[in-house]
Structure 1
Amino acid sequence: MLEFCQQFLIILEVYGCNVFKNSLRKGYARGFFIINVTPLKIDDKVAVGLRVDLPDSPPLLLIIGQTGFVMCGFLNIEAAEKVNATAAMVSGVKTFDNVLEADVRAVTSKAQMKGKDAVKLLL
């Protein structure tokens, strides 16, 4: 997933978005924090964290893994279900740490687990 962050910056460079690319690397555009793409190390794996600061609103947060994603309440779990995505939704979060610690409020059918898998997590 670390390659995703690097590829994202390369795409910005290829399309001539140097001002935006430099702002993204610094985390600032016109002195205002707008978009942050961050590799998140979880155990021995890396996910991609995407944070979009919105005007007069909590941030939009998304953590992307190899097989699916976790989204904040701004994104629509029903839409994710319609496109057969593997997704989970948390709410009331403002940071990636909040996302990782929050209770899952909804999941798509592809993200649901069997009782046996839940018991394995408890052992």
Structure 2
Amino acid sequence: MLIEQIRLDNGCALGLSFEMQKYPLLVIRAEKGFLMCGYLNINAAETLGDTAAKVKGVQSFEDMLKAQVVEVTRFARELGIEPGMTGKEALEKMF
């Protein structure tokens, strides 16, 4: 497992990368929520009351920051996070 600090304009997030067989499982955790890769389930995050946004087709933290958000929980929407914004834009709203 790789743990990395990711410096953003509004704060410092924590990136977690776990190598799977073909692609990594990636999460970037900010103060109020997290950005997840396609391995994880947005419906589970919603049910658990998490603020989360999902990106797909990523293999690194940098990819996650550049990728477009494809799904969000209602808690993320309350922070102004919407599908179509970049992962970086979504994370900036989670501080």
State the TM-score, normalizing by the size of structure 2.
0.80
Quote the residue 1:72 is aligned against. 37
Q: Which runs of 5+ in 1 are unaligned?
A: 1-34
The structure with the largest helix share of the pair is: 1
Which amino acid in 2 is paired with 1:45? G
Give the aligned length: 82
1:44 Cα deviation from its structure 2 partner: 4.7
Q: How much is the aligned-residue C-alpha RMSD, in angstroms?
A: 2.1
Tell me: higher relative CO, structure 1 or 2? Use CA pairs within 8 A at least 6 residues apart.
Answer: 2
Identity %: 40
The alpha-carbon distance between structure 1 residues 44 and 93, as it changes in their structure 2 partners (threshold 3 A), is same
Q: Distance in 1 between matches of 2:42 and 2:10?
A: 28
Which segments of 5 or more consecutive residues in structure 2 lack a partner in the other structure?
90-95
Larger radius of gyration: 1
CA shift, 1:70, in A, is 0.3
What's the counterpart of residue 15 of structure 1? Answer: none
TM-score by length of 1: 0.62
Paired residues for 1:35-50 under 5 Å: 35-50=1-16
Moved over 6 A (4+): none
